[in-house]
Chains A and B, each alone.
Chain A
Amino acid sequence: MRRVRIYQIAVIAGFLLLLEALCLAGVIDKITMPPPHRIAIDFVRLLLAGKLYPEIGKSLANVLLAFASAYLIGIFTGTVLHGYRTVRETLDPLFATYYAIPVFAFYPLFIVIFGLGDGPQVLIGFLLGVVAVIVTTLNGLDRVPRVLRKTASICRMGPFETAVHVTLPFCAPYLLTAAKLALAYAFIGVIGSEFIMARSGMGYEIGYAYTNFDNATMYPLILLILLLSIVMNGVLTHWEKVLLARRGQR
């Protein structure tokens, strides 16, 4: 475990040092990328200045909305679908090919339908995430032991109670995986949509800084998005590990 940590830190440090060296040596010119230490300084400055907080807040709110809707609707759909085998089998090819479909191609359509606002962005994030949540929920429910369902029916629980008190808690590790996926897709959907076409938000600001060669804003913003998604993902992964360890599965 220890050696693995050291290895990981060494890889990251080595990568950063390499970038720093390349930047300082002029192999990567200043217009392409400022050296990492410069980005770190700009990052702190950006956070202290707080000028972009409204944009950051707006994007994060949309990410959260896309995540929450994809997660809740996904789990609900997955749970209901689990009871109808034929419907599920019919939808299987859709689930299997879904992630081959460029969902962003629908963004223009959504803009035309809903107007250029938060709606289409949240919808893209939702659409990207929801199927992953459904599939993961189904996967988890498949592994619920028969005896638990029987116990639930002996206790005269209805389908809703069974799901809330028995089957879904059993699938908790799967639901955490689903949360990770939904979160990643929410970020991709919202930030990507802001990039393609929007009037505000972090993605929009990055695009704006890019066209103005404003690397002092662009790189810290990109770094912020990457850090946010990595940290959130890390927290969920840790939680998942704790859960699995408690159940003696790892």
Chain B
Amino acid sequence: MGGERKTLRNTLVLIAGLLAFWQLVYWIIGDVAMRSPWQTMRYTVTFVQSELFWTHLPNTLQAFAVALAIAVVLGLLIGFALGLHRLSAEAMEPMLVALYSIPKITLYPIILLAFGLGMSAKIAFGAIHGIVPVALFTLNAVRSTRPILVKTGRVLKLSPPAMVRSILFPAAVPEIFTGLRVGFSLTLIGTVLGEMFAAQHGLGYLLMNAIGLYNVDVIMAVTFLLVVFAAGVNAVLLAVDRRLHFRA
């Protein structure tokens, strides 16, 4: 209980500190390029009620949801397939790590050529950001399952699907969830980036458009909304993550 209160206090202090920092930077830089926290929040409230926002938001959400679904399903499949086979796991893990560290942004033009401008390119770009972390965390979780659990499964003569369902998956849930949390953030970033480079809809496009028109109010509001959304969801996922790891 004390730990939770401490986290809450720390978070509040942190938010206050960040707002103060923001205000300070605003005082230094001024109205040309920025808005103060108060102005941004006020504009965000009107912006959220505008039609402009509501035509673009569903687009981003839809692309993000599909991308996340693809990343999770493919990531889990790859992770389990490789994790179950010792040699595959050993050989592919460093390759996945290498894939994880390459700047995937450079692949964007290729994705555009392959998928064309629009929804599918955004989804693909979001998904490639998310697949690798989900696969990596799953692979390592499956590989490091306690041998005694696997042996028990073998003694009970479980079929491979039953083994995954009733032993490997439950044992790996905490680690897999961490993978999902990281995958969630990266997929969101990927989707928004995709919209920034080439799209006619979505919040990323709105942001790019606002840069072109030099509309500081919109830039600040969209950035603010993205950060609040990402940080908010991540905080919830992190809390679940900690609980899962604590239980395990």
Contact = CB atoms under 8 A, between A and B. Distances in A.
B113 A32 contact: yes
B87 A4 contact: yes
A233 B106 contact: no
Interface stretch (B69-77, B147-155, B160-168, B219-227): B219-227
A90 interface: yes
Contacts of B227: 101-102, 105
Given A92-B10, A102-B189, A188-B103, A97 B238 contact: yes
A118 B22 CA distance: 23
B11 A93 contact: yes
Contacts of A233: 98, 101
B20 interface: no
Contacts of A207: 109
Interface residues of B, number: 62
Which of A93, A109, A206 counts the most chain B CB atoms within 10 A? A93
A89 B10 contact: yes
Contacts of B119: none
A196 B197 contact: yes
A91 B197 contact: no
Contacts of B95: 8, 11
Interface string A195-218: 111000001001101100000001
Interface in A1-37: 3-4, 7-8, 11, 28, 31-33
Interface stretch (A67-75, A164-172, A221-229): A221-229
Contacts of A90: 10, 13-14, 17
B223 A230 contact: no
Given A7-B91, A33-B114, A89-B10, A105 B105 contact: no
B103 A184 contact: yes
Interface in A86-105: 89-94, 96-97, 99-102, 104-105
A215 to B, nearest CB: 8
A216 to B, nearest CB: 13
A229 B99 CA distance: 10
B109 A192 contact: no
Interface of B: 6-7, 10-11, 13-14, 17-18, 29, 32-34, 87-88, 90-92, 94-95, 97-98, 101-110, 112-114, 182, 184-186, 188-189, 192-193, 196-197, 207-208, 210-211, 214, 216, 219-220, 222-223, 226-227, 230-231, 233-235, 238
Pairs A-B, 6 closest by C-beta atoms: A7-B91, A100-B185, A100-B234, A112-B33, A210-B109, A192-B105
Interface of A: 3-4, 7-8, 11, 28, 31-33, 89-94, 96-97, 99-102, 104-106, 108-109, 111-113, 180, 184, 187-188, 191-192, 195-197, 203, 206-207, 209-210, 218-219, 222, 225-226, 229-230, 233-234, 237
